Chain A
Amino acid sequence: MTVLAFVIIAGPLAGTIAAASGARARPAGWAGTAGACVAFAAACWLLIGQLHRAPLQGFGGFLYVDSLSCFFVFTVAAVTLLAAVGSVGYLSAEEAAGRLTRFQVRLYFIFFGLFASLMLASLETGNLGLLFVLIEASTLASAALVGLEGKASSLEAAWKYVIISSLGVTIALAGTLFLFYSASALHLAPDLRLTWPYLFAHAHALAPDSLRLAFLLAVVGYGTKVGLAPMHTWLPDAHAEAPSPASAMLSAALLNTGMYAIIRFLAIARVGLGDEFPRVVLLVFGFLSVTIGVLFMVRRGNFKRLFAYSSVEHMGIIAVALGFGGVLGLYGALLHTLNHAIAKAVLFLSSGDIALRYRTREAAGVRGLLTVVPLTGGALLLGSFAVLGSPPFGLFLSEFTIVRAGFAGASPALPLLLLGLLAVAFIAFARTTTGMSTGELATSGADGRTSPYRSRAAGLTAAAPVVVGLVALLVLGLWIPAGLNTVILHSMAVL
C-alpha cells in the first residue's frame, strides 16, 4: 500500500520527464496521460484497498493516508486524468496554430505534471508543516501555467495569483505555528508534534486561545487558495488566463486541495474548541463566497471568468455545508466536492474547445454552438445545468443534501438564503451559457466550424474527457457506488 501512495505521486511526473527530455506536444501529452492513468488506477486501488483498514502511516508521520485522504486523492487523480487527456488536444492545436512556441508547450507539460504530483503529495502527508510546503510549491508550479502564454494579461494574472496565494499560504503557516504553540504544554513526542493524527488524538488538551487563532489563520490562509471571499480576487483572473486544461486543474483540483487543508484544521478545532466557533467561521466565509460568486456571475463577458466565479460560489457552498455540520452536512460537503470537481473539469475542458474554435473568450462572440459543434454545445449546456444543480446530475443530490442539513439545524433562515442565492446563480449562469449554445449564428468573425485539431485523435482527446465526465456526473446523480459511500462515511468519522 505504501508503494501505491508513491506511485500516485510519481505517476503524473511522466509527462514532466517526457517534456523535460525534449518531447513535443503530442508525445509529452500522451506520456502525461499514461502517467495520469497509472495514478488514477493506483488511487482507485488505494481507495478500495484502504476501505476497512487502519490509516496508512509511515516515515515519522510524513506519510499518512486515511479515508479522507483517499477520497481527495481519488478526486484529484480523476480530475488530473481528465485534464491530461484534454491537454493533448488543446496543446497540440495551440502548437500547430503557432500560438505557443515549442518551448512554451514543453514548459506546460513540465509544470502540469509537477503541479498534479505536488497536489497529490500534499493530500498524502500527515505532517502539517510539509502540507504547507507542498501546497506552496504547487502554487508556484501552477503560477507558471497561468503565466504561460506570456501576454501582458496572463503575466498580470500570474503575478496576482502568485503574490496573493503565497501571502495567503504563508499566513496559513503562521496558523500552523500557533497550532504548534497550542500543543506545547502537552508532553508529546517531539517529532510527532506537527503530525495531524497525533494532534487530532490530543485535540481536547490543546490550549484553546492559541488553537482558535490557529484555526482562524488556517481558514484565512488556505481559504485564499480555496477562493473563499474576500480572498478570492486572484481566482477569476488566473482561471481566465490559464490554458483551459490548466484552468480545469486549478478549479477542480487545486481548490479542493486547499479545502482539504481546511478540513484537517477543522477536525482538530471541532474537538478542541467545540462546534460553535468553527461553525460560525465557516458559515460567514461560506455565505460571503456564495454571495460574491453569484453577484459577479450576473455580469456577462468572459465565459471562463463566469466559470471561475461559479467555483467561488461552489467552494462557498462546501464551506457552508461544513458549517452546517451533522451527518448530512459533512456527507453533502464531501459529495459536493467530487461532483463539483467533475462538473468544473467538464466545463473548463469544453471552454477550451470553444476558445480554440472561436478564438475568443468572450461569451458574446460565441453563438449557436449546438448547431455548429453539437458535441461541445451539448456538453456546455448539460455541464452548466449539472453545475447549477439540476436533476438528474450529481450536484442536485449533493446540494439537496446540504440544504436538508441546513433545515435540520436551528434556523431555517440560512438554508432559505442559500436556496435564494442558488436560484439567482441559476438565472445568471444559464442566461450566458444557453445564449452561447443556442442563439443566432454569428455572422462575422470566426464561425467555429473549422476544426482546430490536426488529426482525428487530437479531436477525440478534446471530446473524450468531456463525455466521460458528463456520464460520471449522471451516474453520481442516480447512484452512489457502495465503495464511494463507505469512503465518504469513513471520512466523516475522521471529522
Chain B
Amino acid sequence: MQSLSSASVAGVLLDLSGVLILLLAFACLGSKLFNRYVAYYGAQSVVLSFAAGVAAYAFHSPELWILAVATLAIKGIAIPVAARRLLIRRLQLKRDAAMSTGLSTSLIAGGGLTAFAYLVTRPQLLPHGVVAAAVVPLSTAVILLGALAMVVRRHTVAQLIGWLIVENGVFLGAITLVATFPFIVEAGIFLDVVAGVLIMLVFVSGLTRQLASASATELRELQG
C-alpha cells in the first residue's frame, strides 16, 4: 500500500493542514458571530481541499483531484455562500446568544477533548508508517470539537455548522486512506453531505417561519 511518512514533504504538508483545520475548528468554537462561524467553516474547507490536493499529488490519484476540486467548490464556496445568503442575511442573524456555556468554558473543554483525542488515538494504536502520523488524532480532535460546538450552541444554524465541522474531521481522516478508499464511497459521502445541508436548510427556514427565532432552546414542544 502506498503510504505517507511524516518525513516526506507531502506528509509534512498534510500534518500542517491538519493543524490548521484544528485551529479553525477552535476559532469557530470561540466565536460568537454567525458570520464568523460560516467564514471559519469556509476557510477550513479550503484547507481541507488543499490537503486533498496534496494527497492527490502524492498518490497520483485522479479521483482525489476530483474530490479536492469538489471540496473547494462545494464546501469551500457554495455552502458558505448559501448559508450566508439564505440563512444569515435573510434571518438577520448577528450575535449568537443561545449558548449553554460561556466561551472560555467551551474553549477549555475543547482543549480537554483535543488532549483526549491524542490519548485514545496514540500513534501506537496505528500500524507504523501508514498515514501521516498526526492526521488521525487531529481528525479525531476536529470531530470532537464539532460535536462540542453542536452541544454548546443552541441555535439551529450553529448546530448545522457544528455538524459540517464533524464531517470535515471525518473527511480529513479519510483523505489519508483515500488511495484505497473506493471513489464511489467518497463521492457518496460527499453527496450525502450536500443533500443533508439542503434538507437542513429547508427545516431551518421552515422553523424560522414558524417560530420567531430558530434557536433550539425554543424547541420545547416535544418533551417526555
Report whether B150 and A296 are in contact in the complex, using a CB–CB cutoff of 8 Å: no
Q: Is B102 an interface residue (CB 8 A)?
A: no
Chain A contacts for B202, CB-based, 8 A: 147
Report whether A152 and B207 are in contact in the complex, using a CB–CB cutoff of 8 Å: yes
Report whether A170 and B167 are in contact in the complex, using a CB–CB cutoff of 8 Å: yes
Closest Cβ of chain B to A301, distance in Å, is 7
CA distance A236 to B221 in the complex (A): 13
Q: In residues 230-269 of chain A, which contact B (Cβ within 8 Å)? A: 236-237, 240-241
Report whether B182 and A191 are in contact in the complex, using a CB–CB cutoff of 8 Å: yes
One of A25-33, A93-101, A131-139 contacting the partner: A131-139
Report whether A184 and B222 are in contact in the complex, using a CB–CB cutoff of 8 Å: no
B 163-179 to A, binary, CB cutoff 8 A, 1 in contact else 0? 10011011001100101
Given known contacts A156-B222, A184-B126, is B200 in contact with A163 (CB within 8 Å)? yes
Report whether A184 and B127 are in contact in the complex, using a CB–CB cutoff of 8 Å: yes
Q: Is A144 an interface residue (CB 8 A)?
A: yes
Report whether A127 and B177 are in contact in the complex, using a CB–CB cutoff of 8 Å: no
CA distance A149 to B169 in the complex (A): 34
Chain B contacts for A240, CB-based, 8 A: 222
CA distance A151 to B203 in the complex (A): 11
Option from A132, A152, A170, A181 in Cβ contact (under 8 Å) with B163:
A170
Report whether A132 and B189 are in contact in the complex, using a CB–CB cutoff of 8 Å: yes
Closest Cβ of chain A to B117, distance in Å, is 11
Report whether A136 and B163 are in contact in the complex, using a CB–CB cutoff of 8 Å: no
Given known contacts A152-B221, A163-B163, is B185 in contact with A194 (CB within 8 Å)? yes
CA distance A129 to B204 in the complex (A): 29
Closest Cβ of chain B to A163, distance in Å, is 6
Chain B contacts for A144, CB-based, 8 A: 199
Closest Cβ of chain B to A465, distance in Å, is 27
CA distance A210 to B191 in the complex (A): 28
Chain B contacts for A130, CB-based, 8 A: 182, 184-185, 188
Chain A contacts for B219, CB-based, 8 A: 156, 159-160
One of A82-90, A172-180, A314-322, A453-461 contacting the partner: A172-180
Closest Cβ of chain B to A363, distance in Å, is 13
Q: In residues 131-190 of chain B, which contact A (Cβ within 8 Å)? A: 131, 136, 140, 143, 147, 150, 156, 159-160, 163, 166-167, 169-170, 173-174, 177, 179-182, 184-186, 188-189
Given known contacts A158-B203, A170-B163, is B179 in contact with A299 (CB within 8 Å)? no
Given known contacts A133-B192, A160-B219, A173-B170, is B182 in contact with A127 (CB within 8 Å)? yes
Given known contacts A140-B196, A153-B222, is B166 in contact with A167 (CB within 8 Å)? yes
Closest Cβ of chain B to A147, distance in Å, is 6
Q: Is A162 an interface residue (CB 8 A)?
A: yes
Given known contacts A162-B199, A174-B140, A207-B127, is B177 in contact with A296 (CB within 8 Å)? no
Q: Is A16 an interface residue (CB 8 A)?
A: no
CA distance A181 to B207 in the complex (A): 41
Report whether A305 and B224 are in contact in the complex, using a CB–CB cutoff of 8 Å: yes
Chain B residue, CB-CB nearest to A185: B127
Chain B residue, CB-CB nearest to A169: B192
Chain A contacts for B173, CB-based, 8 A: 174, 177
Closest Cβ of chain A to B191, distance in Å, is 8
Report whether B126 and A137 are in contact in the complex, using a CB–CB cutoff of 8 Å: no
Chain A contacts for B166, CB-based, 8 A: 167, 170
- Interface size of A as a range: 35 or more
CA distance A210 to B195 in the complex (A): 31
Report whether A210 and B163 are in contact in the complex, using a CB–CB cutoff of 8 Å: no
Q: In residues 406-451 of chain A, which contact B (Cβ within 8 Å)? A: none
Chain B contacts for A143, CB-based, 8 A: 199, 203
Given known contacts A177-B173, A193-B180, is B126 in contact with A210 (CB within 8 Å)? yes
CA distance A193 to B1 in the complex (A): 11
Given known contacts A162-B200, A174-B140, is B163 in contact with A140 (CB within 8 Å)? no
Closest Cβ of chain B to A232, distance in Å, is 13
Q: Is A209 an interface residue (CB 8 A)?
A: yes
Closest Cβ of chain A to B19, distance in Å, is 19
Report whether A194 and B184 are in contact in the complex, using a CB–CB cutoff of 8 Å: no
Chain A contacts for B130, CB-based, 8 A: 181, 184-185
Q: Is A75 an interface residue (CB 8 A)?
A: no
Report whether A166 and B207 are in contact in the complex, using a CB–CB cutoff of 8 Å: no
Chain A contacts for B206, CB-based, 8 A: 147, 150, 155
Report whether B156 and A174 are in contact in the complex, using a CB–CB cutoff of 8 Å: no
Chain B contacts for A241, CB-based, 8 A: 222
Chain B contacts for A158, CB-based, 8 A: 203
Q: Is A213 an interface residue (CB 8 A)?
A: yes
Q: Is A307 an interface residue (CB 8 A)?
A: no
CA distance A143 to B156 in the complex (A): 16
Chain A contacts for B199, CB-based, 8 A: 140, 143-144, 162
Option from B182, B192, B210, B216 in Cβ contact (under 8 Å) with A140:
B192
Write the residues of chain B forming the contact surface with A, with a CB cutoff of 8 angstroms. Answer: 1, 120-121, 124-127, 130-131, 136, 140, 143, 147, 150, 156, 159-160, 163, 166-167, 169-170, 173-174, 177, 179-182, 184-186, 188-189, 191-192, 195-196, 199-200, 202-204, 206-207, 210-211, 216, 219, 221-222, 224
15 A-B residue contacts at CB 8 Å? A127-B182, A127-B185, A134-B188, A136-B196, A152-B210, A155-B206, A156-B207, A157-B222, A159-B216, A174-B143, A194-B181, A210-B125, A236-B222, A299-B224, A301-B224
Write the residues of chain A forming the contact surface with B, with a CB cutoff of 8 angstroms. Answer: 60, 62, 127, 129-130, 132-134, 136-137, 140, 143-144, 147, 150-153, 155-160, 162-163, 166-167, 170-171, 173-174, 177, 180-181, 184-185, 187, 190-191, 193-194, 207, 209-210, 213, 236-237, 240-241, 296, 299, 301, 305
Closest 3 CB pairs of A and B: A133-B188, A129-B185, A185-B127
